[in-house]
Amino acid sequence: MSRILLHLRGIGLTFGGRPILENAELAVAEGERVALVGRNGSGKSTLLKIAAGMIEADKGERWVQPGTTIRYLPQEPDLSAYATVLDYVEAGLGPADDPHRCTYLLRELGLTGEEDPKRLSGGEIRRAAIARTLAPQPDVLLLDEPTNHLDLPAIEWLEAELKSLRSAFVLISHDRRFLQSLTNRTVWLDRGESRRLERGFADFESWRDEVLAKEEAEQALLAKRIEAEEHWMRYGVTARRKRNMRRVDLLASLRKERKEHVGQQGAVRMAATSGDISGKLVAEAKAMSKSFSDRPIVSNLDLLVMRGDRLGIVGPNGAGKTTLIKLLTGALEPDSGVIRLGTNLQTVTLDQSRQSLDPNATLADVITDGRGNSVTVNGETKHVISYMKDFLFPPDKARTPVSVLSGGERGRLILARELAKPSNLLILDEPTNDLDLETLDMLQEMLADYPGTILLVSHDRDFLDRVATSVLMADGDGEWTEYAGGYSDMVAQRGQGVEARKVKAEVAKATPSSAPPPQAPQAQRKLSFKEKHALETLPGTMKTLENEIGTLEAKLADASLFSRDPKAFDSAASRLTTAREELAKAEEQWLELEMKREMLEG
């Protein structure tokens, strides 16, 4: 039998008068890779912090095998006290640990170690924290959502690295494929208590359904016993005119048991409001190309999107996935080639960056856009409170401001708001962020029934397999290739998954260690209002400049202009030079902001 390294017993914790954990247990033995699962708000991260010794439980016991080393990966690492990323990573080493492993891990994760922590994006902060956590090769790893902000190449590298380690670990993640590949034990936090399955996450969902079905059957049997006892109470005592107090007590006990039973939290009920039927053709690209500052984003792409298609778009961060979406929906003009859009398109975009949510607005105002107390979904008018319940928001949260919601609750709120809008084209940009597994199940079922067309950008391999009918993958240098089927089908046809951008590594090597990395986002979590406004208005500015340049070039093509009106010729030539410079500057600014937005969100 494997030696126990970490054991939590009888853990109880209450926040604000509400019990988060009641009699929860978590045991980790040598060689065990434990999936810690449960709905958003079930206490997973809290239990992991108790295991790491960061939070003290109200009751229960935490025991660690003497000499055991434990490392914890937080969701929001703090690098502010360190001059460089390498300093931060090395600070996590013990006296006997190898400092060269820090450099190796940072290089594998696309960092040099010389970066200024104040200038890192969300994804780079996550990579630095992973390097710090893995560098000591501890006995037990506690990993809270390690794939957040990572692109597919980084996720697949981390998966392979964790498989190669001898460390035991506890893993919280919403990425099904990641959990299935890595775990051999499962702990399910449900209604404050824990249940353990001596198998990995691959077997969890069928086991969970069996547990809930058994529980439902037991409650149905309990209801029948109560009904039988109530029948006896009414009619069984008339002969003797004297009540059997034992049976009276039994009925009271049964009623108490049923009253105190905490049922499984309700299921999310999702339905997208269908718009009018679009034309059979949704979008057609012919020899479409787009570049910024001599960097190709799309090169000579031919693509046909028909009504009902579910197109998954994958690639490393910075490959231009969002730019491609803008091209395919007509929000951005290509440099060359043709993009033809279908008729009667009604587009809804699920903005999983959540920047569109006003932090001071209430849930009810967000869902109704501040107009009344009802919402119409597929022709059916529902009170906002009833509609909120479909997305697991209790009535007392109707007036709760967005600012106090968790990441998962904000994700459900975005879904509730956007799915109420009529559409026949859904743009899903990383829709799985922070959603629990049950909510993901319902989202997938809703998408399966959606009659329109879907463009999906995602790093979630399982979600792509379940939703996409074809996958468009970035091959680098603006080249994109479409593969039939989901992500696994693409890997089977291609022979490998998504590769990291080579350009990024080359830039890192060419950059002096004393200089900040090029185009590195500032120390912020989202674009400023000014940057967001510029990102929205620059495409219009570029279009205006392109039109002006075309007009000036046509004017200067008149061979008689110079002899007829030299001043007009000089003026047009001068303005043409200036307009071209302004266009190049606008394109470069837009590209920098777009890459910054992608890195902050991804």
Binding-site entries for ATP: 38-45, 315-322
Kindly give, in sequence order, each residue whose CB lies less than 8 Å from that of residue 167, ignoring residues fewer than 6 positions away: 137, 138, 139, 140, 141
Helix (H) or strand (E) segment spanning residue 162: helix 152-164
Residue 281 forms beta bridges with which residues? 306
No. of helices (H) and no. of strands (E), the chain? 19, 20
> Cα separation of 590 and 593, whole Å?
5
Amino acid at 451: P
How far, in Å, CA of 317 to CA of 332, rounded?
20
Binding site feature residues: 38-45, 315-322
Contact 251, 229 (CB under 8 A): yes
The residue type found at 384 is: V
> What phi and psi, each to the nearest 5 degrees, are found at residue 351?
-85, 85
**Nearby residues of 347 by Cβ (< 8 Å), 6 or more positions away:** 329, 423, 425, 426, 427
| The Cα angle at residue 509 between residues 503 and 515, in degrees rounded to 5 | 110
CB 478 within 8 A of CB 486: no
Sign of CA pseudo-dihedral 484, 490, 492, 495: positive
Nearest alpha carbon to residue 320 among 501, 159, 98: 501
Residue reference for tokens 């859009």: 341
Backbone φ and ψ for 250, nearest 5 degrees, come out as: -60, -45
Which among 359, 312, 242 is positioned nearest to 498, based on CA atoms?
312
Distances (CA, A) of 169 to 57, 58, 142, 406: 21, 24, 6, 25
Q: Which residues contact 32 (CB under 8 A, 6 or more apart)?
A: 2, 168, 184, 185
